[in-house]
Amino acid sequence: MSATRTPATSAIRSTLDAEAQQAVQQRLQPLLVDLIDLTLTSKQLHWNVVGPRFKDVHEHLDEIIDEYRMWSDSVAERLTSIGVAPDGRVQRVAGDSLADPAPESFLGQDEVVAAITDRIEAVARATRERLDGLGDADLVSEDLVIGILDGLEMQLWMWSAQQA
């Protein structure tokens, strides 16, 4: 039994057929964009947070940035492993991101907490939607996305608890 070949421009073999590859790509590529956007937005907020809880918020942002970087790498490598070239270029992220840009000015800690909580919630909701039918195409990719969603929802809890 031979492995399914991807488009002629790719030397990467995949055990998924072209239809499954496309189904996975349609869900993972936007997730990759969302995670890179969260990374960059969180870093922007990290640099510009001010207020009495500066250190706590500043360091908490660094923690989630590390998670976004790890998750985006996992998503990109999953795409690659099924023979799909991931696109994490700044032009792609800027063009595909649905979120408004982070402010370029200093922000009070409460504004930062609200901004990152809203973004995490939006990405978590979109990630949950991307699960629909993903397991039919590829259980491994579904498992990856479930793990990321679990982490996003954990972050949503921790950030929204700071708004109470």
77: in domain: yes
The CATH number of residue 75's host domain is: 1.20.1260.10
Helix axes 18-48, 139-161, angle to 10 degrees: 20
Beta strand 107-108 pairing with 49-50: parallel
154: in domain: yes
5: in domain: no
Number of domains in the chain: 1
148: in domain: yes
Domain extent at residue 62: 14-96+103-161
3: in domain: no
Question: CB–CB of 37/99 below 8 Å?
Answer: yes
7: in domain: no
Q: How far apart are CA 150 and CA 158, in angstroms?
A: 13
pLDDT one digit per residue (tens) for the chain, 164 residues? 444 444 445 678 999 999 999 999 999 999 999 999 999 999 999 999 999 999 999 999 999 999 999 999 999 999 999 999 999 999 999 999 988 889 899 999 999 999 999 999 999 999 999 999 999 999 999 999 999 999 999 999 999 999 87
